[in-house]
Amino acid sequence: MARANKPQEEYIDKRKNYHGYHLSSDTHIIDAELVDTITSKLERGKDADIDGLSTEHLLFCNPVISVVLAKLFELIMLSGHVPSGFKFNYIVPVPL
């Protein structure tokens, strides 16, 4: 039984010190063009998220939102910290 648990224990031990790949400040993985391209491909007419935001909010708001979101995502990548508000979600069961 101890042998069966060894891979899981190794994973947990390695996971404690894992911080992802190092990203230098001049590495731009996420830019406004990428954010704009992705948001333009989102499906319309979907339900809003837990904060009441929908695809239409991103599609029809001021174009500067792509710059702001790109900077936010870049800072999240550099800091390695995901804001706690990004972790909330809810599921609505659909009766069959």
pLDDT score for 35: 92
| Model confidence at 92: pLDDT above 80 | no
Task: For 3-61, write each residue's pLDDT tens digit.
Answer: 778 888 888 888 887 766 665 656 657 889 999 999 999 889 888 887 888 889 989 99
Task: For 77-89, write each residue's pLDDT tens digit.
Answer: 888 888 888 877 7
Cα angle, residue 40 at apex, residues 92 and 29 outer, rounded to 5°? 100
Torsion angles phi and psi, residue 57, rounded to 5: -60, -45
When comparing pLDDT for 26 and 72, which is higher?
Answer: 72
* Token pair belonging to 36: 């704009």
| Model confidence at 64: pLDDT above 80 | yes
Q: How far apart are CA 65 and CA 71, in angstroms?
A: 10
pTM, rounded to two decimals? 0.60
Q: How many CB atoms lie within 10 A of CB 67?
A: 15
* Token pair belonging to 16: 């404690």
